[in-house]
Amino acid sequence: MVDADSTRTTGTQKTKIIHVGLGGWGGDWERNAIPPVTEVERVAVVDAHEPTLRKAQAALGLPDELCFTSLTEAAAAVPADGVVVTAPMDFHVPVALEALDAGLHVLVEKPFAGTVAEARTAVERAEELGLVLQVSQNYRFYPGAQKARQLIADGAVGDLSVVHVDFRRWDHDEPADGGYRHYQFPHPLIYDMAIHHFDLLRMTTGREAVSVYAKVTDPPWSRYTEEASAVLVIELEGGLVASYRGSWVSRAPQTHWDGEWTFEGADGYLTLTGRGNGGPADDEVRLGLGGAPAEPVELTTPDLWGRSAGLRQFARAIRGGPAPDVTGRSNLGSVALMEAAATSAASGRVEPVERIGGTTA
């Protein structure tokens, strides 16, 4: 899908991207996620908040003509192929639509959107325009999650009977005055964190969610406005049930960001953890068959992982290569589970998960 416009990427040139949203995580993309991807050149940066833009400009040593407070201005001034959106969730779809309407491909951070209906507007626009729309579900691109998916698909533990997931972090180091901005996040557990695990659940089992029950379990010491901990029961296609216990306010030992997974099957079980702060080396998969203790499975460290691996897929898709693993459309199933979980946390009832169709790939 190389653009015929000679101002854009051609031949062996790098794929030119405009980066929108240079806050905490956007800054980390600049330092750690974009530089290893040799196929990509970040040609301009955008942040709607002028002081944040100037801070980023100074940190990155960029000239004024590559720094903008709006994507539309940037797209008019700097030839580009695509946009990487690391603004907060509420701006993902509006910025994606702005980019698509400017003829630019889009890679957007998780969570894609707060509702399937909103996410679908961007999916449909991208499809009408024939542009790539990808969601950065970076936890997929780690060796442990990839290996777990492969082993389960290959029948290593036989038919799955149940999946258990535990995720625990705590906020001991955060200011006690309530000043930590994550305390005010909408659905800090379900939208900000569990979306990763919902997406991994679909990926590793190859099944879509059918229904979800979420019981908020916040303790008195939680300083979060909305749910910071919950226990969920998720039913997947074929009657497979997953239990999910997630917490930002746990006092028990912390897990890696993947959490700790157990997949039980007819022939044995498989455990997974990973996405640690130490990179892929923290990933671990173990396989226990026929009642024997689980043994570690060898994992291969890829040359790129996490966000960088997804960004490389984005660049290749723009240049006519295969579609990325996580398109806007294929991510709708994860958004649907997230949305239903938040609805259940509020209603106290089991909620159906909107059926999307398509792929969990």
**Beta partners for residue 293, in sequence order:** none
Please tell me the distance from the alpha carbon of residue 23 to that of residue 45, in angstroms, as a whole number: 12
> What's the one-letter identity of residue 176?
A
Nearest residue (beta carbon) to ligand NAD = 23
Please tell me the distance from the alpha carbon of residue 300 to that of residue 297, in angstroms, as a whole number: 10
CA of 70: how far to CAs of 21, 132, 219, in Å? 10, 21, 41
The answer to whether 247 and 228 are in contact (CB under 8 A) is yes
CB of 117 to ligand NAD, least distance (A): 18
CB of 74 to ligand NAD, least distance (A): 9
Considering the complex, state which of residue 147 and residue 187 has its C-beta at the smaller distance from ligand NAD.
Answer: 187
Q: Say which residue the tokens 């159906």 belong to.
A: 352
Longest dimension (CA), the chain: 64
The distance in angstroms from the start CA to the end CA of the chain is 22
The answer to whether 108 and 20 are in contact (CB under 8 A) is no
Token pair for 207:
């099944």
Considering the complex, state which of residue 255 and residue 269 has its C-beta at the smaller distance from ligand NAD.
Answer: 255
CB of 94 to ligand NAD, least distance (A): 7
CB of 64 to ligand NAD, least distance (A): 17
Closest CA to 164 of 141, 196, 197, 187: 197
The answer to whether 105 and 314 are in contact (CB under 8 A) is yes
CB of 23 to ligand NAD, least distance (A): 2
CB of 71 to ligand NAD, least distance (A): 6
Closest CA to 157 of 291, 298, 275: 291
Considering the complex, state which of residue 56 and residue 152 has its C-beta at the smaller distance from ligand NAD.
Answer: 56
CB of 53 to ligand NAD, least distance (A): 8
The binding site for ligand NAD (CB under 6 A) comprises 20-26, 46-49, 52, 86-89, 91, 95, 109-110, 138, 192
> What's the one-letter identity of residue 141?
F
CB of 287 to ligand NAD, least distance (A): 27
Token pair for 155:
């029948």
Name the 3-class secondary structure at 164: strand
Considering the complex, state which of residue 86 and residue 271 has its C-beta at the smaller distance from ligand NAD.
Answer: 86
